Amino acid sequence: MGSLKGYDIDSKDALLEAVRVYHIHSNVEYRIETSNQTSLSLKCKKGCSWKLRARLNPYSTSWFISKYNGKHENCVLGSDTVSAGHIHLTSSGFINVIRNCVSKDPLIKVSVVRQMVKDRFGIEVTYKLAWCTKQQALLSIYGTREDSYSLLPRFLKAPSIEGLKFCKPLIAIEGKHLYGYYCHTLLTAIAQDVDKGIFLLAFSLVEKECITAWSWFKACIHKHVTQKMGLCIISDRYAGILATMEETKWQPPYAHHRLCLRHLLSNFNRAMGNVQLKKLFGRTVEQRQHVKVVEGLRAIRVAKREALFWIDEVGDMSMWSLCHDGDHRV
């Protein structure tokens, strides 16, 4: 730290931070002898002659170093002590080092955080300390879970509904289970613009995915979002959704229900346990000619007869075959 007597520094915290960083890099330790609103006294923890005293400038908010006694003498920590961490390298000590990276990548791995600290200070910190510091950084950047959760109603007022007039007559609905601190279900309704971009229309948080929740959500869509005739509704095969599609306002000619092909193929693969068969079914659902669809189904039957029974149970071909779709997905 050189000769610092008489040196002014902005605040007491800034002074302590500079002392802390110096001691970490030098592999030495200090202790606080006196600390109050107007004075600060630090000494070597090992008992050598190193000493630093500082006082509050009576004419400003800055602090000045009134006494500084050279370098530490024979107090350097051994390599075994340093590898186990440093007493002055706490969460508050390196949170500023990782904050920018955490802000850019909230999912940054703890192993990366540990390496960043090692590169900066030359000292390894425990996984627990790195994890706790990352959580503190996230808290300082994004606030608490309660803060984030409380922002959701603000998005409910967003004028997304007005954008439906510029989208295709198609709405995809889906339920997503939230995990962790808030165990609710997020119900969403999205549309697709002319460039096949995703356009969020509405969403809601419900306690659980059930017939009652979907009936209420879809009633809100019908009342507040659109009553357009011939609307195409795309969804997975969740029982609650299928039950509400039986309501008159969601039946032809008012609406046409179609299955989400991504979910359908995923369920098919889970049931059959055969990736190649899934690919064959995927090619079949995308065929635009009836003869090609029939050929695909025959190939599936030859490969695994049970697979054809599974497809039959899905429902009418218009639900999953683009050839029989009636151009409602387009």
pLDDT over 60 (residue 149): yes
In angstroms, the CA 14 to CA 132 distance is 23
In a domain, 149, yes or no: no
Answer whether 225's CB lies under 8 Å from 248's CB: no
The predicted structure's pLDDT at residue 39: 94
If you average pLDDT over residues 23-48, what whole number do you get? 91
Q: How many domains does the chain have?
A: 4
pLDDT over 70 (residue 156): no
In a domain, 96, yes or no: yes
The predicted structure's pLDDT at residue 30: 92
In a domain, 83, yes or no: no
Return the percentage of the chain with pLDDT > 90, whole number.
58
In angstroms, the CA 43 to CA 51 distance is 5
Question: Are 231 and 176 contained in the same domain?
Answer: yes
Model pLDDT for residues 74-124, shown as the tens digit of each residue? 888 765 545 556 777 878 778 888 999 999 999 999 999 999 988 888 788
Question: Are 284 and 321 contained in the same domain?
Answer: yes
The predicted structure's pLDDT at residue 96: 82
Question: Are 295 and 225 contained in the same domain?
Answer: no
In angstroms, the CA 81 to CA 89 distance is 13
Give a three-class secondary structure readout of the chain: CCCCCCCEECCHHHHHHHHHHHHHHHCCCEEEEEECCCEEEEEECCCCCCEEEEEECCCCCCEEEEEECCCCCCCCCCHHHHHCCCCCCCHHHHHHHHHHHHHHCCCCCHHHHHHHHHHHHCCCCCHHHHHHHHHHHHHHHHCCHHHHHHCHHHHHCCHHHHHHHHECCEEEEEEEECCCCCCCEEEEEEEEECCCCEEEEEEEEECCCCHHHHHHHHHHHHHHHCCCCCEEEEECCCHHHHHHCCCHHHCCCCEEEEECHHHHHHHHHHHHCCHHHHHHHHHHHCCCCHHHHHHHHHHHHHHCHHHHHHHHHHCCHHHCCHHHCCCCCC
With cut-offs at 50, 70 and 90, classify the pLDDT of residue 159.
low
Model pLDDT for residues 232-290, shown as the tens digit of each residue? 999 999 999 999 999 999 999 999 999 999 999 999 999 999 999 999 999 999 999 99
pLDDT over 80 (residue 4): no
The predicted structure's pLDDT at residue 118: 87
Q: Kindly report the CA angle at 243 between 238 and 249, in degrees rounded to 5?
A: 120
If you average pLDDT over residues 45-64, what whole number do you get? 91
Question: 240, 256, 272: which is the final residue of a domain?
Answer: 256
In a domain, 219, yes or no: yes
What is the CATH classification number for the domain harbouring 230? 3.30.420
The predicted structure's pLDDT at residue 322: 94
With cut-offs at 50, 70 and 90, classify the pLDDT of residue 9.
confident
With cut-offs at 50, 70 and 90, classify the pLDDT of residue 3.
low
Model pLDDT for residues 274-311, shown as the tens digit of each residue? 999 999 999 999 999 999 999 999 999 999 999 999 99
pLDDT over 60 (residue 1): no
In a domain, 148, yes or no: no
Residue 159, preceding bond cis, omega within 30 degrees?
no
Higher pLDDT, 156 or 183: 183
In a domain, 173, yes or no: yes
The predicted structure's pLDDT at residue 225: 86
CB-based burial of residue 129 (10 Å sphere; 0-12 exposed, 13-18 middle, 19+ buried)?
buried
In a domain, 82, yes or no: no
The predicted structure's pLDDT at residue 280: 97
If you average pLDDT over residues 140-165, what whole number do you get? 77
* Residue span of the structural domain in which 303 resides: 260-330
In a domain, 209, yes or no: yes
The predicted structure's pLDDT at residue 76: 82
Question: Are 186 and 138 contained in the same domain?
Answer: no
The predicted structure's pLDDT at residue 282: 96
Question: Are 58 and 96 contained in the same domain?
Answer: no
pLDDT over 80 (residue 128): yes
